[in-house]
Amino acid sequence: GVVNQAGLPLEEGIGTFWMAFEDVKRFFTTVEVCRLHGGWHRSHSRAELANASGPGQAFELEVTEKTQVDLALWQEKAGRREGDVRLADLANADLGLAVLRLRGAGADGQPQYELVEYLRRTLKDSVS
C-alpha cells in the first residue's frame, strides 16, 4: 500500500490516482473538491468558444422555481486540444461568463434579456 511521509497508510479508493506535484501545477489550473450537494444534479456540456470563425455558443438553463446553481467554465490546455502535450503550456482563449434572464419577446418579436451576473473576461483556464 501507499504511505505518507509520516509512515501512515493511505486508503486508495476508486478514482484515486497519484502524480507528482510539479505535474499537477503544470496540467491543472484549478483543483476543486466536488461541490455537488445533496439533492443537486450535475450536467456537463461541450461548446465552442468564441474565435475568429464565430461567436461561440451559449447554453439555456430553464429554472422553474427558486434554486441555487453553480456554474463553471473550463477549457482544455491548447496542447491537449491539439493532441500534443508539448504544447500544453500554450495560452488558451480568454474566458468570461454572463448569466442572462429571459424577460420575454420585445415589440419586434426578438427575445429580451436582463443581465443577472457576469464575470469579467480573464486569461485563466477556468471561471466559476
List pLDDT tens digits, range 2-42.
666 677 666 666 666 677 888 888 887 777 666 677 888 88
Q: What is the mean pLDDT of residues 38-56?
A: 80
For 61-79, write each residue's pLDDT tens digit.
888 898 888 887 777 665 5
- Residue ranges covered by each domain of the chain: 36-127
> Would you state the pLDDT for residue 119?
86
Q: Mean pLDDT throughout 107-113? A: 96
Q: What is the pLDDT of residue 21?
A: 84
- Which residue has 484515486 as its cell numbers? 16
- Say what the pLDDT of residue 18 is: 73
- Return the pLDDT at 80: 52
CA distances from 105 to 24, 116, 125 (A): 47, 17, 35
The answer to whether 54 and 48 are in contact (CB under 8 A) is: yes
pLDDT at 3: 66
Assigned C-alpha cell, 86: 508539448
Residue 107's pLDDT is 95
